[in-house]
Amino acid sequence: MKSELKAGKNSEDGHASAQGLPAAQGLYDPRFEHDACGIGMLVNIEGKKSHALVRDALKVLINLTHRAGAGADPNTGDGAGILMQIPHRFLKRVCADRGIELPGEGEYGVAMMFASPDQGRRDRTMSMFESIVRSEGLEQIGLRSTPTYPEAVGKLARDVCPAIEQVFIRRPENMNREDFERRLYVISKLAVSQIRNVKYISSDPYFYLASLSSYTIVYKGMLVPGQISAFYPDLRDEDVESAIALVHSRYSTNTFPSWERAHPIRHLIHNGEINTIRGNVNWVKAREAILESEKYGADYAKILPIINEDGSDSAMLDDFLQFMRNAGYSLPHALMMAIPEPWEKDESMDPDRRAFYEYCSCLMEPWDGPAAIAFTDGKIAGARLDRNGLRPARYCVTKGGMLILSSEVGVLPIPPEEIVRKDRLRPGRMLLIDTVEGRIVEDDEIKARIATER
């Protein structure tokens, strides 16, 4: 079937072919794509960064290879990737080698950008992106072409492989970290509308921001799990350290793989599908005209549309969570609103929590479907299941203070005597690790705190 579908031929539908997805035609519509995947999350509960954690996360990813898809070319995968904290010591060193002087940790953001392999088109894209950064009152302090080894991947992946660039943006001295994150979010939304939008002559059909943050960075691609550290030599460097890592292997059951549809997205990894996505997206669009936010202020118009409908169901949920987080909600709060537990007929539920869910039901509709989700903002990390618990997730905690969660057991060999806790996620329940406070926050505590904030 795939060989019979025709990719776009010009700039108006070139995005589809560049990203590996054909345009809607005949019985095929990219809106109906779903996938089933493997997810993994490793967190040092006390927030201690190490390369060992990154290395173990990549082992977990390799052990999820059976959850990853590949086509007729076994070296072209449906997608694999890792989301982790920005490895400041590593970037400081490699940027200095290129004459880029990075400021201190947390004082800059990093854009992980997919762009055209064509030099001329890429130069126009980078120039447009820098103009957007300047228009938002920020300074672009450097550009690093991310080292890659295309020979490590299959021909089909190489044929649509983007150039991968890292762009560094300075945080102004008078701007706090969260305001800076919000400004980076606004830049990312403007970049999508002004660079990728096909109405622009210089649009880049390859353009995609895998991440843009002062906390986290994403390495991903149209890879099988065992290829990621070969394709991205950065990940093998001992100075690449993190206390949080989310990994994902994609199996696109009735879909087309692409570089951008690989997970992680900016905040989450996802195993399953959201069955109500069309209704969720339509309701968000319907409310855009009446929404307002003290956090966004006059910038609100710049971030519309809130959800990019070219994305997968996972990417659209991530768009919504990004919007909510930058509007002042925490990720756990936003997820409680978007994916509520079954509260309507639970007579034993705490009255404050029930009132919270009842109030939220007037604001938005649940994003329902069989789903296991892991998420992070670079300080906290967590996971939750949908209200029916139709996707599995299990975790363990070691004596060394490491939490390991995955869609199945056995993803990382741990001696039994080193394990102090083993459990599984339950329907509608949330697991949260706060690496700043250095502790696991239990489900009841999270929800009691959020439900009583008012």
Q: Which residues have a catalytic role annotated? A: 37
Contact 187, 132 (CB under 8 A): yes
Contact 431, 405 (CB under 8 A): yes
Instruction: Say if strands 108-115 and 216-221 run parallel, antiparallel, or are unpaired.
Output: unpaired
Task: For 272, list phi and psi in degrees, rounded to 5.
Answer: 135, -150
Q: Cite the DSSP H helix spans in 136-276.
A: 155-159, 177-191, 228-231
* Residue in the structure block whose two tokens are 């969660």: 405
Over its C-alpha atoms, the chain yields an Rg (Å, rounded) of 21
In whole angstroms, what is the distance from residue 346 CA to residue 356 CA?
Answer: 14
Contacts of 395 (CB under 8 A, 6+ apart): 41, 383, 403, 404, 405, 406, 422, 423, 424, 425, 431
Q: How many residues does the chain have?
A: 454
Q: Cite the DSSP H helix spans in 136-221.
A: 155-159, 177-191
Contact 55, 256 (CB under 8 A): no
What SS3 state is found at 3?
Answer: helix
Amino acid identity for residue 3 in this structure: S
In whole angstroms, what is the distance from residue 428 CA to residue 385 CA?
Answer: 5
In whole angstroms, what is the distance from residue 286 CA to residue 290 CA?
Answer: 8
Q: How far lies 303's CA from each of 172, 291, 307, 322, 364, in Å?
A: 21, 12, 9, 11, 19
In whole angstroms, what is the distance from residue 371 CA to residue 316 CA?
Answer: 14
Angle, CA of 244, 248 and 253, to the nearest 5°: 165
Angle between helices 119-135 and 177-191 (to 10 degrees): 140
Neighbours of 452 (CB within 10 A): 12
Residue 305: Cβ-neighbour burial (10 angstroms; 0-12, 13-18, 19+)? middle
